A and B are shown apart, each in its own frame.
Chain A
Amino acid sequence: MSATAPPLLEVEDLTIEVRGADGTALPIVRGVSFTVADGEVLGIVGESGSGKTMTLLALLGLLPPRVRVRGAVRFRGRDLLTLSEPELRKLRGAEIAVVFQDPMSSLNPVQRVGDQVAEQLRAHRGLDRGAAATRAVELLERVGIPNAASRARSYPHELSGGMRQRVMIAAALSCEPALLLADEPTTALDVTIQAEILALLRELADQLGAAVVLISHDLGVISEMASQIAVMYAGDVVEQGASAAVFANPQHPYTWGLLGSIPLLEGWPPKPLHAIPGQPPTVAARPSGCPFRIRCAHAFEACTERPELLGRVAADHRDRCHLEPAAKAAARQAAPLDAGAAS
C-alpha cells in the first residue's frame, strides 16, 4: 500500500445511540475506532450485547432509522455515514458483503438458493437471468456444494445447516467484494461443520484478496483467522492490537477472562476452565466509569472514571484499563481471572 492511498476501511470514533423510553440517548457503542487494510483479517470479539453486531450493521447503514450513528466510517476514503441510500446500495453486496449468523433465517424460505446467489449478480453486474444463473452454479460449486447445478434449484429448508451457510458465502462473495463482514458465521452450526466453514472462508478470502471483519464471541475462532483483534465489552473496545501481541501479552482483565474460558487441549490433567462471573450489563444499566469494574477482581477507586484507550505496552497495542502495565503481570498471576471464578 502506498503512503498516499487511504486504507480500505477506517472506522473512527464510531458511536451508536438509541433513544430510551424516557427520550434520553443510550449509547450502545461508544467511540470505536479501527483500521482494516486490504486483505487483512480483523477479529472483533465479545459477549452478546457488547455491540459487535451493531457495529457491523452500522458499517453498511443497515441500522433502523431511529438509531443514531456518529463518527466516521471511511471505505477507501469515502465516509459511508454521509452517503445517500442509493450510493450505499451500490457498495452493499458489490464492494462490501456480509455473511450473517443464522443461515436458516437469513435465507429467503421461498426462493431457490441459486436465485438468491444470482440476484446479487444481476443487481450489481447487470448480468441477464441466464448468465447470472450459470455464474451462481459456478459459485455454489466453488463453495463446495456437491451437484451444484441441481442444488441451485433447492429451497433453503432442503439443505443442511452447513450447506446453507455455504450458500450464504457464495452469495456474499459473488461480486468479489473487497471487504467481507462475517457476523458469527459458525455459531449456528454443528461443531464439526464450524472448522470446515472457517477454512472455506479463509481460503476464499485469500483467493479474492478480500479483507475480512470477523465477529465472534469465540476467541478460538478469532485466533485461527485474525491478524488484528479488537475486544469489545458493553459497547467499548477494551483492548485492540495485532493478535499475536494480544494473545501473548493481554492487557485487559476482561481479555484475561476470555482467554481463561477457552478449553485447552494440551497438557494433562487439563487446566480448569474459568467462567467470568456475572453477566455483561445491559445498555441501560451500564455502570459509570469502566463498565467492567463490577465484574473485575482488580477494580480500584480510579475505575469509577472511564479509562482512556491507551497504547502503553506498544503504540499499536492499546487497552482501556487503569492498572499500570507493570502491575498487570503480577495482578494476573494473583488472580488470573476474577476473584469469584475460583468457586
Chain B
Amino acid sequence: MTRFIVGRLAWTLAVVVAITILTFLIFFAAPGVDPAHQLAGRGATPAAVATIKHDFGLDRSLPVRYALMMKHLVIDRDLTSYSQGRVKVLPQLVDAAPVTFSLVLGATLLWLVAGVLIGVLAASGRRLLDPLLMGAGLIAISIPTFLLGDLLNLITQDRLHGFFLFSWIPPLGYVPFAQSPWGWFSHLVVPWITLSVAYVGIYSRVLRSKLQEVSEADFVRTARAKGLSPRRILVAHTLRNSLLTLVSIFGLDFAGLVAGGALVTEVVFGLPGIGALTFHAFQDLDLPVIMATVIYGAIFVVLANTAVDILYAWLDPRTRSSGFDPAT
C-alpha cells in the first residue's frame, strides 16, 4: 500500500509540472496570441506593455519564458494582475478559495444524501415511485445550472420573496462563516440547492442502475439465503458494492467543482469564489489571474484524482492487491 501511494504521488508531481507547461503554451504559444498585449489587458499603455515584455522576458526563448513565469508564480509569488491596479494574484486566489469551498462542501453533502436516498428508493422500486423519481431525475439533469439559478432567484428574491418560506433569504452575496454563521448559511442555501440539483439527478440515476445490477448478483442471493434482514442485505451487500461506483465519480466531481467548476453558480449568485474570479478576469482579459486559477484548478484536480485512487484501493480490496488502476 505504501508503495502504491508513493508511486501515485510521484506521478502526481509529474502531472502538475506538465500542466503548468501546457497552460503556459495555451497562453503564450497558441497561434495568434500576443501575450504582452493580452497580459496587459484591454487599453493598456505602450509603457505598460513594455514593462510586461521585460518582466516576462517575452523577447527570450520559450523555455526561458516558462521558467520566468514559474518564478513569478511559485517562488517570488508576486505574479500581478495587470488590469486591476496591479493587485497580486495569489492573495486573490486565497481570498476566493474559502467561498468556493463553502459552496461546494454544502452542495456535496446535499447531493450525496439526496442522490443516495433517491437512488435507493427508486431501485427498491415501488411500481409508481421508480418512474416518478427517474422522471424527476431526467428534468434535474436537463436544467442548466444558470437557468435554475435564475429561476430560483426570481422566486426567492422577487416573486415570492414576501412568502414566509423565502422571506428570510438575504440578497445575493457572501458572508464568511467566521463573521456570521447564520449569514453564511442563509446566503448559501439557494446556491447549494442550485448546484446540487443536477448531481442529485446523475447520482441517483447511476446508483439506481448499479443497485439493480448488483441485486441480481449471486452474493446477494447468498445473503438472502442466510436469512438476513432486507436492511442488512441492502447496507452490507447491495449498497456497499454499488457505492464503489459513486466513489470514483464523486472524487472527480468534487475536485472539478472546487477547482472552478462551480463557476456558473458563483456568477449567478454573486459569490466571489474561484470560478467567479476566473470569469471576471476573463471579462477584463486579465491573463495572469486566469492562468493562475487554471493552474490552481489543475493541481487540485490531480491531487483529488490521486486521493480517489488511494481511497478506491482502500475501499475495494480487489484493486489493492492487483495494483489495478481504476482510472484506466
Asked whether any CB of A lies within 8 Å of a CB of B in the complex, the reply is yes
Q: Provide the bound-state CA to CA distance between A93 and B315, in Å.
A: 28
Scan B52-64; emit 1 where CB is below 8 A from any A CB, else 0: 0000000000000
A105 and B218 form a contact (CB under 8 A): yes
By DSSP majority rule, is chain B's interface helix, strand, loop, or mixed?
A: helix
Size category of the B interface is 20 to 34
Contact (Cβ within 8 A) A106 B219? yes
List 20 extra interface pairs beyond A97-B225, A108-B236, A123-B227, CB under 8 A: A62-B221, A92-B227, A93-B226, A93-B228, A94-B227, A100-B221, A100-B222, A106-B218, A106-B221, A106-B222, A107-B219, A108-B219, A108-B237, A110-B315, A119-B236, A123-B229, A157-B317, A158-B317, A158-B321, A171-B222
Beta-carbon contact of A157 and B318 below 8 Å: yes
Q: Which of A90, A105, A120, A123 is B219 in contact with, Cβ under 8 Å?
A: A105
B77 lies within 8 A of chain A by Cβ: no
Q: A residues within 8 Å of B by Cβ?
A: 60, 62, 88-94, 97-98, 100, 102, 105-111, 119-120, 123-124, 155, 157-158, 168, 171
The 0/1 profile, CB within 8 Å of A marked 1, for residues 290-323 of chain B is 0000000000000000000000000111100100
**Which residues of A have CB within 8 Å of B232?**
119, 123
Is A155 a contact of B219 with CB atoms below 8 Å?
Answer: no
A235 and B226 alpha carbons, distance in the complex (Å): 26
* Measured CA separation A97–B232 after assembly (Å): 18
Q: Can you give 8 contacting A-B residue pairs, CB < 8 Å? A: A60-B225, A62-B225, A91-B227, A93-B228, A100-B218, A105-B219, A110-B244, A123-B229
A120 lies within 8 A of B217 (CB): no
Cβ contact within 8 Å between B221 and A109? no
CB distance from B196 to the nearest CB of A (A): 27
Q: Which residue of A lies closest to B221 (CB)?
A: A62
Residues of A within 8 A of B157 (CB): none
B227 x A107 contact (CB < 8 A): no
List B contacts of A98 (CB < 8 A): 222, 225
Q: Across the interface, which residues of B come within 8 angstroms of A90, CB to CB? A: 227
Contact of B227 among A93, A111, A168 (CB under 8 A): A93
Cβ distance A276 to chain B, nearest Cβ, rounded Å: 29
A120 and B226: CB pair below 8 A? Answer: yes
Q: A109 to B218: give the CA distance in the assembly, Å.
A: 11
Minimum CB distance partner of B243 in chain A: A110
Most buried by A among B227, B240, B315, B318: B227
With contacts A102-B218, A105-B217, A106-B218 taken as known, whether A111 is within 8 angstroms of B236 at the C-beta atoms is yes
- Which residues of the other chain, B, contact A88 by a CB distance below 8 angstroms? 227
- Residues of A with C-beta under 8 A to B237: 108, 111
B223 close to chain A: CB less than 8 A: yes
**Residues on B with beta carbons closer than 8 Å to the beta carbon of A157:** 317-318, 321
CB contacts (< 8 Å) of B221 on chain A: these are: 62, 100, 106
B318 and A155 contact, CB distance less than 8 A: yes
Are A89 and B218 in contact, with the CB atoms below 8 A? Answer: no
Please, what's the 1-or-0 string for B220-251, where 1 marks a CB less than 8 Å from any CB in chain A? 01111111110010001100110010000000
Q: Name the distance in Å between B251's Cβ and chain A's nearest Cβ.
A: 18
CB distance from B241 to the nearest CB of A (A): 6
